[in-house]
Amino acid sequence: MWKAVAAELEDSDVEVGAVNCELNSKICGSWFDVPSYPTIMMLNDKWGTQQIYHKHQEKALEPLTTWAKQVAAEWQYLFTQSNMLILEASNFTEGILSTNKVTVVSFVDGFDCSSCKTAKTNMLRLSASLGDLATIAVVNCAKDEASRELCYTNQSLPRPPHSAMTKIWPRYNSTNRTLPLVGGELLYNSNEIEPHVALQITERAIRMTLASQEKDEKGLSGSKGGFEKEKDDDEEEDDFPPPPPKPPPMWNGPARPAPLAWDSGGGGGRRERIAGRI
pLDDT tens, position by position, 20-64: 999 999 999 888 888 888 999 999 999 999 999 987 788 899 999
pLDDT tens, position by position, 202-239: 999 999 998 776 555 544 333 343 333 334 455 455 55
pLDDT interval class at 96 (50, 70, 90): confident
Give the percent of the chain with pLDDT over 70.
76
pLDDT interval class at 170 (50, 70, 90): confident
CATH, domain range 83-218:
3.40.30.10
**85 has pLDDT over 80:** yes
User: What is the C-alpha separation between 79 and 120, in angstroms, rounded?
Assistant: 12
pLDDT tens, position by position, 181-207: 567 899 998 888 899 999 999 999 999
**19 has pLDDT over 60:** yes
b/e per residue 33-72 (b: at least 16 CB within 10 A): ebeeeebbbbebeebbbbbbbeeeeeeeeeebbebbeebb
User: What is the C-alpha separation between 164 and 109, in angstroms, rounded?
Assistant: 7
The pLDDT of residue 190 is 85
Whether the full predicted model's pTM is greater than 0.85, yes or no, is no
Parse the chain into domains and list their residue ranges: 1-81, 83-218
Nearest partner of 101 among 137, 125, 66, 132, judged by Cα: 132
pLDDT tens, position by position, 107-123: 999 998 888 999 999 99
**75 has pLDDT over 60:** yes
